[in-house]
Structure 1
Amino acid sequence: MTRITVYLTGGIAAYKAVQVVRNLEKQGHEVRIVMTKNAEHFVTTNTLAALTKYPVLDDLWEKANEASIPHVHLARWSQLALIVPATANFISKMANGIADDTASTTILATKAPKLVVPAMNDQMWNNPATQRNIALLKGDGVHVMEPATGMLAEGYAAKGRMPEPEDITAWVQDILDENKILKNKTIVVTAGGTQEAIDPVRFIGNRSSGKMGIAIAQKAAEAGAQVKLIYGNVTIPLPKANNIELIHASSSEAMLKAVEDKFQHADVLIMAAAVADWRMEKVADHKLKKNPEQDTLSLTLVKTKDILHEVSSHKKANQVVVGFAAETNDLLKNAEKKLKNKGADMIVANDVSNNVFGNDQDQVVILQNNTKIEKWPLMTKQEIAGALIKKIANKLK
């Protein structure tokens, strides 16, 4: 499932775009709509809102939008932007970075891949200005679907007609499939912190939110992988997708079992969870009461099994293991030691001494054997996850 924003602009072919929206929804995609005011001369916002069960964005200055920035929210939400039909006017705005209405402002704000389906009179399509703008868009990495040759609104046959909805839907799906760089791969991801019981009430835990592991699971799923997400204690909602299996493992022992089980038939393991290094030697079977005469409490802890080392020691030649090193000091020294001693193929190291837990941003360093260390800039955890999935996909090749 992909989050697709469909932009309807002011051409007569807008009526056919309604079927494109319907087709995308039938394929399981989540669709939101942006419309220009000119598009509303051909199709009403009510029609599109009824189809998507979500308000259409067509006016940044409505009362309901005064206290929010809806175009930025939608731009960030989008995983794909489809402009259908794309008029010569809107193509010109996109090519030249003009943002003078709701639709052009939103499209300028999104980082999502952009797909343009032009529809216009043949003379407008063949105009040198339009062709320059199309060339600019293609140069910027925008996908452009060639107009069809057929009967135009003016009553004669020529190139400029919008392709049929089924052809557009198939084209969109082909492009989405091209981005499925982990198609037919199985990825095991761990996320969150483990909890080691002291008694039936208390436990030893850590500050991990699970944001990084969950972001990685989402990006792997978007890349076409079958994802096994093994999670401990997390503070954000778990992802929902047909190709993500959720497995809860609260303790380090439970997580080790789950990882060993799922990784047997997987291609990649990404250990983003914060697994406890110590657990109780013996868990009390009753709540440990506070004694008024007692000023201290001693707990006997024993080492937990190192999941990364255990799994790496018997991984197959075609399997990839990625570990995380969360450090508060000597980041590179500790990460290099971990890469050498754990048997992982890659270590993602980050400094957690400065407000990283629960934060939406992070800065990481990538270490691999016989490869130059990569220091990535400060990015959102979603951006780190996306870049990491691309790197892993290249490694699998």
Structure 2
Amino acid sequence: TTPAPRIAVIGAGPGGLTCARVLQRHGIAVTVYDHEAGPDARDQGGTLDLHEDDGQIALREAGLLDDFLRLSRPEGQEMRQMDAKTGAIGFHHVPGDGERFKPEIDRGLLRGLLLDSLAPGTVRWGRTLRSVEGPAGGPRLLRFADGTAVEADLVVGADGAWSRVRRAVSPAIPRYTGVAFLEAWFHDVDERHPEAAALVGPGSAAAADGERGLFAQRNGGDHIRVYVVQRVPADWIAAAGLTVRDTDALRALLLDRFRDWSPRLRRLLSDNDGPYVDRPLHALPVPHAWEHDPSVTLLGDAAHLMPPLGVGVNLAMLDACELALALAHHDTVGDAVRAYEKTMLPRSADMQRLLDGAAEGLLSDEPHEPDGPYEPDEPDGPDGL
């Protein structure tokens, strides 16, 4: 009897957890390793829209679609595109009754749904991967920062933009796109920020003037997140003699840069609660591919990091679902990985080409709806490469 393959998924984000859930539904053992100390170690980011033709397909295979629809916010599909100088609404999409094409859900809520669906002990927290060693044919040896090591017959890199698993199959490193987000939070908005609540509504609101933009999203729990979008050098804050902790000085700088904008929109720069978060946008080279390796593969941002224009988490979850199904329906791990990559790599290459340079589109006054930017899965970010 051939022993069951030892499958290790690195990264407990939506992609890695979806892969684990679908594998377990098919009776396949899997272990997920994540560098965070636990599921509540940090804020999980903003809100996501899961599409009927990819993210929701993955949730259906995971047996979680009904739970997702119960937890999601269909009203979050509302979208307002506003004139930067006047604040007037130029484009306004209001979802119809029963519209479920891409309802919103907070990242943390989605992660909790997936975590609760897994067998106890599936996720090993506090395990920061340092290296993937061993021959291409396997088994692979995973070495962690705490000094532990485990063997695996298949290593799945679901560890995001700065993936350490990627290094085992590809030398590619994400490159700065030239566009950066500065994230701002608003809490208890209906009571404390009624003007922002009315401006954004139940979904999203955006404005741009070709050089800079604002994108605001209603989150669950009476929160709004605003992404200040700028075409700037990656070190623009340091170049101004500031750090991200200099909230008042950064606010003054932003208000000057947006001085010609509508006063209503400028309130999204001046009234936020707490400090800003700097999120420069990166993307992998286009297209990104690697030679087939039967013991290592990638999914989501680890495989095809792109500008955050509404496809990232959806593709990650679809990748994860398809990889898990391939493992369930092929005789060997190598055959499964080859079948998965035969579909995933061309699809992601097509999407990479479509979105290459599209970070600039976030500065356009045309309607657009970005994802909240990826959360780096390495605690030290790109400097830890």
Q: TM-score, normalised by structure 2?
A: 0.26
Computing the radius of gyration from Cα coordinates, the structure with the larger value is: 1
Q: TM-score, normalised by structure 1?
A: 0.26
Q: Which has the higher contact order (CA 8 A, sep 6+)?
A: 2
